[in-house]
């Protein structure tokens, strides 16, 4: 140090020499590193190519395209020779409309005929108009004296069906119908007319479970009056095949009419069983 201090002119050259030595060492190291890195990369690329991981670009060979015409050549003799006169006439003539084909209507399929069944002579000669119509009974018939009792070979006439589904027969009083004195108190609040009730026969010629069927005029209170007085009715049980059927149902008709009193000329009422 003392030498350098004594000779300041030698300091700069020595520093330059020292710097060149260091740069040479660093450059050698860098070159060696670069070479080693390039060698490693080349080895890696070679390994990838050998394992078919990287495909090298293939050379594309251009293919020449050849076009040709497959249309059949028309011989010159077959071509239509047109003259200038023909071309002038074609331009002057109006265009002809295309012919319209008539629409074809679909064929209609005829329906299959229905099978005809042969009829017997009796069926062919049958006339529905010759059948006699049964008379329709009116619900508001005229007054009838007493219950209907028309025995058929000794049996009671069946006149319908009771409310419980059992047969209902025409009633016959036993031994006679109720008197006017017995019915007057019940009929005093009713209007003249008639009422139909049905009752179930019980022993001792009595009836029970009476039900109203119809009355005329409507709302005349006749059904109510007859049902109230039915406890004193005495009815013969229906006769079926010659045997009295106690427990069967009978239909009872009661008529209440208005008559003129011969002594005073005033109107009065009369019960007709």
Indicate whether 69 belongs to any domain. Answer: no
**pLDDT greater than 90 at residue 271:** no
Strand partners, 169: 158, 250
Report, as an integer, the average pLDDT of 1-12: 55
Structural domain total, the chain: 2
More confident site: 55 or 68: 55
The pLDDT assigned to 215 comes to 96
Burial 214-245 (b: 16+ CB within 10 A, else e): ebbeeebebbebbbebbeebebbbbbeeeeeb
The pLDDT assigned to 144 comes to 44
More confident site: 7 or 32: 32
Report residue 145's pLDDT band, with 50, 70 and 90 as the boundaries.
Answer: very low
Report, as an integer, the average pLDDT of 119-133: 61
Among residues 50, 72, 88, the one where a domain terminates is 50
Q: Which residue has the tokens 């059948």?
A: 131
Global confidence as pTM: 0.44
Indicate whether 172 belongs to any domain. Answer: yes
Indicate whether 145 belongs to any domain. Answer: no
**pLDDT greater than 70 at residue 232:** yes
Indicate whether 186 belongs to any domain. Answer: yes
Indicate whether 98 belongs to any domain. Answer: no
Dihedral sign (CA 186, 189, 192, 198): negative
The CATH number assigned to the domain holding 191 equals: 3.30.1150
**pLDDT greater than 70 at residue 230:** yes
Indicate whether 81 belongs to any domain. Answer: no
**pLDDT greater than 90 at residue 37:** no
The pLDDT assigned to 13 comes to 67
**pLDDT greater than 90 at residue 252:** yes
Indicate whether 133 belongs to any domain. Answer: no
Indicate whether 264 belongs to any domain. Answer: yes
Report the half-sphere exposure of 26 (CA within 13 A, side-chain side): 6
- pLDDT per residue over 79-98, tens digit each? 455 666 667 666 766 666 66
Quick check: helix, strand or coil at residue 127? coil
Range of the domain at 265: 158-272
Report, as an integer, the average pLDDT of 238-258: 94
């Amino acid at each position: 140090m003392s030498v350098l201090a004594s000779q300041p002119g030698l300091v700069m050259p020595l520093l330059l020499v020292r710097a060149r030595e260091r740069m040479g060492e660093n450059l050698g190291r860098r070159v060696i590193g670069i070479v080693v890195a390039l060698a490693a990369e080349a080895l890696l690329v070679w390994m990838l190519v050998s394992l078919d991981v990287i495909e090298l670009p293939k050379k594309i060979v251009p293919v020449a395209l050849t076009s040709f015409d497959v249309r059949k050549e028309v011989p010159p003799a077959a071509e239509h020779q047109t003259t200038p006169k023909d071309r002038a006439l074609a331009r002057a003539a109006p265009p002809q409309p295309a012919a319209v084909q008539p629409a074809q209507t679909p064929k209609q399929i005829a329906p299959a005929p229905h099978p005809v069944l042969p009829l017997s002579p009796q069926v062919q000669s049958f006339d529905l108009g010759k059948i006699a119509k049964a008379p329709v009974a009116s619900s508001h018939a005229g007054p009838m004296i007493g219950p209907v009792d028309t025995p058929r070979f000794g049996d009671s006439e069946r006149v319908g069906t009771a409310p419980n589904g059992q047969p209902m027969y025409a009633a016959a009083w036993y031994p006679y119908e109720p008197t006017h004195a017995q019915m007057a108190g019940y009929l005093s609040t009713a209007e003249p007319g008639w009422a139909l009730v049905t009752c179930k026969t019980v022993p001792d010629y009595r009836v029970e479970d009476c039900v109203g069927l119809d009355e005329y005029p409507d709302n005349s209170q006749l059904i109510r009056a007859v049902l109230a007085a039915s406890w004193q009715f005495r009815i013969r049980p229906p006769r079926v095949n010659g045997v009295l059927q106690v427990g069967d149902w009978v239909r009872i008709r009661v008529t209440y009419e208005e008559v003129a009193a011969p002594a005073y000329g005033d109107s009065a009422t009369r019960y007709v069983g």
